[in-house]
Amino acid sequence: MRLGGRRCLLCTCEGTIPLDARALARALGQPAPPALLDRLCRTQLDRLEEALATGEPVLVACEQEVALFAETAGEAADRLRTVDIRARAGWSAEAAQATPKIAALLAEAALEPPPVPVVTLRSQGRCLVYGPAEPALEAAQRLAGRLTPTLVLTEAADVLPPARVRFPILTGRIARLEGHLGAFRATVADAAMALPSSRERLRFGQPSPKTEIEADLVLDLSGGTPLVTAPDKRDGYRRVDPRDPLALERALFDLVDLVGELEKPRWVELEATLCAHSRSRRVGCTRCLDHCPTGAITPAGDHVAIDPFVCAGCGACAGLCPTGAIGYAAPPAGFLLERLRTLLGTWRAAGGADAVLLVHETRHGEPLLDAMARTGRGLPARVLPFAVEELARLGLEALMAPFALGAARLVVLEPPRKAAELAALAANLGWLEALLDGLGYGRDRLVRLSLDDPEALETALWSLPPLASAGAADFVPLGGKRALLRLVADALHGCAPKPMPVVPLPPGAPFGRVVVEVEGCTLCHACVGACPTGALRAHPDKPMLRFTEDACVQCGLCVNTCPEKVIRLEPRLGFGPAFREAVVLKEEEPFRCVRCGKPFGTKSSIEKIVQRLAGSHWMFRDARSIERLRMCDDCRVLSEFERPDHPMALGTPRRPRTTEDYLREREAEEAARRAARDGEGKG
């Protein structure tokens, strides 16, 4: 059977999975029933070799023996993919009814994910060991054979110096640690080197106020406050309680492997031009900064900057970013929606109805599902598992999509140990609850479980009361984050039991409108210059403020920028074409110059200026100077120079002399001479 361009090998696992070949063929739209194997990982391994020999990509419906399959594939392992239909569907008390689920799982697994960008880290094995004398010295000595340690002791205790010193030994206090795997920099206060003449105990020289140490790896045995934020997520940093020998052994084992050229996914990508963090030193959106656990995101002018080497891939920034400036890249949001669309679409096409979507993290959920399948009733046939790397990466579009695609209920399985890291997910789920409630779906369709016990998870899932789906839409997930948000929201609205035109949302939601107190607005358009999405716009020909609600991300830059403080935010989600069109918030006739009549500014802004300056500023105390405020820039200059007491005034300009003046003077002189001669002749 070929599925999504892949040869699909199905195994009943020695008959323990009740697969119905004909029903699967109908569910997946195949012309003929697939061949079913029962011992693919043992006596029928040659079938995998035959499939790989064709050069086609292969999908194997078994994950337990993935290591064996990869070894068999050899260089062709990149064409091999596996999917678990046993723990998720086949080993269940309702396995006989699980054909639609198995079809959906196979169709989802056949999708081709986009390539994941990577960053390269280089480690030379320089390891900084920090902690009390005895455990830290022993750890450094054990690492010295494989790594290049530097030992910083938190206290100069009575410890016997090593017979052969293979690494630097200091005492001091690490005041600051920054960087990442391959590029850590530690600032050590009061650092002092061990004296080579130390005999019965380590002695140290004169301390230095500040010493910088560069390292590729850090082993923190101090037992105090972590040297970095989110220590469990910082690559190359291991913080261990020295009283826990098992944890110390694991840390030493992990550190010796972190040498050479290493790759990690570039979890998120930033499109700085879309960022709504700041404009003109006024801060707006801080969602990503507030929820980044590692400190990988920092302000960088009008936008933020992301350090991909520090980023741990929790995805909280991408899940909350309202503009799509930050997008999850491993994989992107569009592919996540395509997985949901394929899973739920195949489920419905195969005859499934009223699905319950169970969203879980791969590392947390899969062991629980496997334990349920082995020791309990397994998953109900209507519960479709959906694994993601990080729950926090789920944005509002991904959480709305299951209901728009026909799911009856969404169950989010949260790891209890990560409760403090899921604030971003909690915010998105709060907005989703408000949407579901406002559109008539009801809040009971969303279930949050924080469990580590497979028995408790099994009880919770099997005890969910049946709930009918509200309907199903279909859409192709194309475009950026904002386009996907609107696309899924409209699909959710189209299936809603009560399709209200406007749904109020809790504070912080990425949808809403701005409310302007028209009386106080002077149409200065400071908000227009600050708006990063173009939701607020001016008119090119007349004083006007226009607003497009569909483009507003509620970043708050307009509120923080408005000099009159007459703008406030109202979170809500509107549906229909009216919310995509620009509406006029305020419009005025232009103010006309009192001298020449030329339009300039607005009446409210000019009168506001007159009100603030008249009588309170030394330049505007008389009626003539106040009147100049109501003139255009040209007339204001003319009026200023018309003042009789103006220091630059020149008075009446002297008339220039022309040729006619010289001729006139010459004629007058000649007439005078003639008159004189005539008088002398008569005399």
CA gap 196, 203 in Å, rounded:
8
Predicted local distance difference test score (pLDDT) of residue 615: 72
Predicted local distance difference test score (pLDDT) of residue 636: 85
For the segment 510-564, what is each residue's pLDDT rounded down to a tens digit? 999 999 998 888 888 999 999 999 999 998 888 899 999 999 999 999 999 999 9
Predicted local distance difference test score (pLDDT) of residue 683: 59
3-state secondary structure of 524: coil
Which stretch of DSSP H or E encloses residue 326?
A: strand 326-328
Does residue 507 carry a pLDDT above 80? yes
Does residue 651 carry a pLDDT above 80? no
Predicted local distance difference test score (pLDDT) of residue 629: 85
Nearest to 16 by CA among 80, 85, 66: 85
Nearest to 314 by CA among 394, 430, 217, 429: 394
pLDDT band at residue 145 under the 50/70/90 scheme:
confident
Average pLDDT of the chain to the nearest whole number: 92
Among 326-335, 457-466, 486-495, the minimum mean pLDDT is found in 326-335
Please report where in the chains the tokens 């008389």 appear, as a residue. Answer: 622
What average pLDDT score do residues 342-370 get?
96
What 242-246 contacts at long range (C-beta under 8 Å, 24+ apart), as own/partner pairs, is 242/131, 242/132, 242/135, 242/136
User: Between β-strands 326-328 and 303-306, what pairing exists: parallel, antiparallel or unpaired?
Assistant: unpaired
What average pLDDT score do residues 71-92 get?
95
For the segment 486-495, what is each residue's pLDDT rounded down to a tens digit? 999 999 999 9
User: Between β-strands 356-361 and 409-414, what pairing exists: parallel, antiparallel or unpaired?
Assistant: parallel
Residue 657 or 498, more confident: 498
Does residue 167 carry a pLDDT above 70? yes
Predicted local distance difference test score (pLDDT) of residue 652: 65
Give how far Cα 34 sits from Cα of 23, 25, 28, 99, 197, Å. 10, 7, 10, 13, 78
What average pLDDT score do residues 196-215 get?
91
User: For residue 267, with 0-12 CB atoms within 10 Å meaning exposed, 13-18 middle and 19 or more buried, which class applies?
Assistant: buried
The residues spanned by each domain of the chain are: 1-82, 122-262, 264-328, 512-587, 592-641
Angle (nearest 5°) at CA 179 between 274 and 318: 30
Nearest to 130 by CA among 154, 158, 159, 149: 154
Report for 154-163, 494-503, 597-606, 646-655: range of highest mean pLDDT: 494-503
Angle (nearest 5°) at CA 674 between 670 and 677: 140
- Percent of the chain residues topping a pLDDT of 70: 98
9: which 2 tokens? Answer: 């090998």
Topology (CATH level 3) of domain 512-587: Alpha-Beta Plaits (3.30.70)
User: For residue 468, with 0-12 CB atoms within 10 Å meaning exposed, 13-18 middle and 19 or more buried, which class applies?
Assistant: exposed
Judge contact between 369 and 379, C-beta under 8 A.
Answer: yes
Farthest CA pair distance, the chain: 158
CA gap 521, 585 in Å, rounded:
10
- Asked if the domains 264-328 and 512-587 are classified in one and the same CATH topology, the answer is yes
- Residue 209, C-beta contacts closer than 8 angstroms, at least 6 positions apart: 189, 190
Does residue 648 carry a pLDDT above 70? no
Does residue 643 carry a pLDDT above 80? no
For the segment 376-416, what is each residue's pLDDT rounded down to a tens digit? 999 999 999 999 999 999 999 999 999 999 999 999 999 99
For the segment 30-45, what is each residue's pLDDT rounded down to a tens digit? 999 999 999 999 999 9
Nearest to 150 by CA among 135, 130, 132: 130
Predicted local distance difference test score (pLDDT) of residue 489: 96
Predicted local distance difference test score (pLDDT) of residue 653: 67
pTM: 0.86
pLDDT band at residue 121 under the 50/70/90 scheme:
very high
Judge contact between 616 and 610, C-beta under 8 A.
Answer: no
For the segment 259-301, what is each residue's pLDDT rounded down to a tens digit? 999 999 999 999 999 999 999 889 999 999 999 999 999 999 9
Considering the segment(s) 264-328 as one domain, its CATH architecture is: 2-Layer Sandwich (3.30)
By residue count, the chain amounts to 683
What average pLDDT score do residues 233-262 get?
94
Predicted local distance difference test score (pLDDT) of residue 286: 95
Buried b (16+ CB within 10 A) or exposed e, 409-432: bbbbbbbeebeebbebbebbbbbb
Nearest to 478 by CA among 337, 342, 365, 597: 337
Beta strands in 42-168 (DSSP E): 58-60, 80-82, 118-123, 126-131, 148-153
Please report where in the chains the tokens 């790989």 appear, as a residue. Answer: 52
Amino acid at 307: D
Give the class (CATH, top level) of 122-262: alpha beta
For the segment 581-619, what is each residue's pLDDT rounded down to a tens digit? 999 999 888 888 888 888 887 777 788 788 778 877 777
